[in-house]
């Protein structure tokens, strides 16, 4: 089975073609090794980095931006969001601070300093 897709790793947006023969996936159209990895992931276990915000309980009208430290399974994105919606942090917080250690297989870390 052949599957066409567009690589989302970088803004170049290569048009990839993955040829899936059972367990083997052959990728063409990629300009770099990351494209091959992306295409194989897309065919076997598509993943995405989720970026969002959490409330800061001791600051008015302030959101702390967060991300999954590693990409999570694409179909788990809304599950991550549902957990983050109920999560609050305490200021101050620094970039890289861990908010939650394991949400759908990834840590959630702060991406903006909150003084």
Partner 1 sequence: MISHDIVVVGGGPAGMAAAIAAYDAGCQDVVILDREPHLGGILMQCIHNGFGLHKFGKELTGPEYAAIYEEKVRSRNITVFPETMVTSVSPDRVVTAQNRQGIMKIQAKAVILAMGCRERSRGALNICGSRPAGVYSAGTAQKLVNCMGYQVGKRVVILGSGDIGLIMARRMSFEGAKVEAVCEVMPYSGGLTRNIVQCLEDFGIPLYLSTTVVQIHGKERLEGVTIAQVDARRQPIEETKRYIPCDTLLLSVGLIPENELTRAAGIPIDPITNGAIVDECCQTEIPGIFACGNVLQVHDLVDYVSDEAERAGLGAVKYVNGLNKSENTLQTKPGNGVRYVLPQTINSTEEDVSLFLRVTQPFGKVKFTVSAGDTVLAVAKKLKAAPGEMEKITVKAAALQNITGPITVSLEEL
Footprint of partner 1 on this chain (CB under 8 A)? 5-11, 13, 48-53, 55, 61-63, 65, 67, 74, 77-78, 81, 95, 111-113
Question: Toward partner 1, which CB reaches closer, 8 or 98?
Answer: 8
DSSP states along the chain: -EEEEE--SSTT--EEEEEEETTEEEEES-SSHHHHHHHHHHHH--EE--EEEEEETTSTT-EEEEEESS-EEGGGHHHHHHHHHT-EE-S-B-TT-EEEEEETTEEEEE-S-B-
| Smallest distance from partner 1 to CB 78, Å | 8
Q: Which residue has the tokens 């909150």?
A: 114
| Smallest distance from partner 1 to CB 42, Å | 10
| Smallest distance from partner 1 to CB 22, Å | 26
Question: Toward partner 1, which CB reaches closer, 7 or 103?
Answer: 7
| Smallest distance from partner 1 to CB 113, Å | 7
């Amino acid at each position: 089975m052949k599957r066409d897709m567009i690589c989302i790793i970088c803004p170049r947006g290569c048009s990839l073609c993955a040829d899936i023969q059972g367990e083997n996936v052959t990728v063409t159209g990629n300009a770099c090794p990351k494209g091959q990895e992306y295409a194989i992931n897309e065919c076997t276990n598509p993943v995405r980095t989720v970026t969002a915000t959490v409330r800061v309980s001791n600051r008015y009208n302030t959101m702390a931006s967060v991300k999954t430290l590693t990409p999570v399974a694409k179909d788990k994105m809304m599950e991550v969001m549902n957990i983050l919606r109920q999560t609050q942090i305490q200021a101050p917080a620094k970039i890289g601070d861990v908010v939650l250690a394991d949400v759908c297989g990834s840590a959630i870390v702060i991406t903006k300093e909150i003084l």
